Amino acid sequence: MQRLSSLDASFLALDGPHGAGHICLTALVAGRLDLDELRDLVEARLPFAPILRRRLRNVPLGIDRPWWVDDPDFDLTQHLFGSVVIGDEWRRELARTVAQIAEQPLDRSRPLWEIHLVQGSASDQTAVITKIHHAAVDGIAGRDLLTTLLDDRPPETDPSSDGAWHPASLPGTGEMLARGVLGVADLAGTALRLEAALMGRLPQVPTLAITSAARVSSGTVEWLTGTAGDAVPVRTRPRISAPRTPFNKAITRERAWAFGELSLDDSKAVRTAAGATVNDVLLSTVAGALREWLLRAEALPEEPLRALVPISVRTDEDKVTGNKIDLMTCPLPTDVADPLVRLTSVRETTAVAKAHRAIGADTLQDVASFAPPALATRAVRVVAAARLADRVRLPFNVLVSNVPGTREVLHLHGQPIEGLYPLPALSDGLGLNITIQGYRGRLHVGVVTCPALIPDPWEVLDLLVAAHDELVEQGRLRATHPSQS
């Protein structure tokens, strides 16, 4: 039995009227697979992923976080589903199907995961969608969990058992209440740690990151523009709240999803030339795409948008389950037209943001400790019912994640996996989430939106591809003709 961490428990609150705290990952398989084959494969891998046979057990009166307990009634058939997509546009039809899967909440009385097998009308069209709650895994762990379950190679370590599953007995009400009381007693020490960590830190982070855009060296600007006179815009009056956009409003239950690819090699070439990181290139690409989308919608703010960027701090020694992340906030220079100047602005501001991360993993745990899951869930429902996200602005506009991947080809029942495409969660006030999953030397992009705010995520995806291509081309021109503006 394992107590749910405070941060993991906070993801449960996303399961409100309009939100859902699970994450999905779609694997496109180069071959045909039926549900019986998938069931046999998953069943053989279950001993290597104990979280898949554990469910949540609440503490009486909701005084403490839930606990993971073995589910004595675990039934694999309740977690595996199959469907067929009919139509000529396989990718579009698949995207609609995956969005519908993501709209449905997971059953809290069971282990919080599902796997869906979706087949197309053609013989070689197969997709496997893993759906698991964010309370159980983060993006890195979710990727590793998929590898453990679906790779046709044997896992590296054998489970220490006789092959049969023997669930632990469920704790009684008295034991759970006693554990809850002990958990409440931990809050005093948590409060002291939190005060030390947050004292004077949070208010200065947005200011530091935004002001740093004025500190771009003249040599860098000259390399980017060909003239020493142009400069990155100076932001002298940073605000705590992010600017208003059409996608920072209350969301509905519906989801819309689009998926595609960017070239990792092209991103690395720009990174090297500009002295930036691949993540800087991706954030600059997002800034360019959102600038164009907002221009078309006649809704581009004068000040830059802000991104919330989760950063995994998971190590090889960490267990598969749970979340290990820092959160970084940084400006997206949507007010800058030149793609290379945008990149330099991102490079400079993220360097400051990384040095002054708003909330680290340990601090996040402490912050979440003061929000009992039952109370947090009720608060989310009140926010959704009152549509407070239409009137209250968050400190960021969009969530952008970059999940590192492998160049190695993964397999599913002997068939190569061609692509891995993420569909993360949405919440009120954050109606757009862009997540990039590295795999096989490509950057696989998932764009999830609420269709009431952004009807067509494929338009956003196309703009991301165009912004990336423009940045790559401008970088090549600057490297070839450094004296030309």
Catalytic residues: 134
For residue 105, give the nearest of 26, 20, 25, 13 by alpha carbon: 20
Q: Inter-axis angle of helices 204-211 and 339-355, to 10 degrees?
A: 140
Helix (H) or strand (E) holding 444: strand 442-449
CA distance 334 to 306: 9
Q: What are phi and psi of 336, to 5 degrees?
A: -110, 130
CA distance 412 to 338: 43
For residue 267, give the nearest of 288, 246, 283, 253 by alpha carbon: 283
CA distance 213 to 196: 29
**CB 39, CB 157: distance < 8 Å:** no
Q: Please, how many CA atoms are within 13 Å of residue 88, restricted to the half-sphere of its CB? A: 0
| SS3 annotation, 322-364 | ECCEEEEEEEECCCCCCHHHHHHHHHHHHHHHHHCCCECHHHH
Q: Inter-axis angle of helices 278-296 and 457-480, to 10 degrees?
A: 120
Question: Each residue of 281-312: b (16+ CB within 10 Å) or e?
Answer: bbbbbbbbbbbbbbeeeeebeebbbbbbbbbb
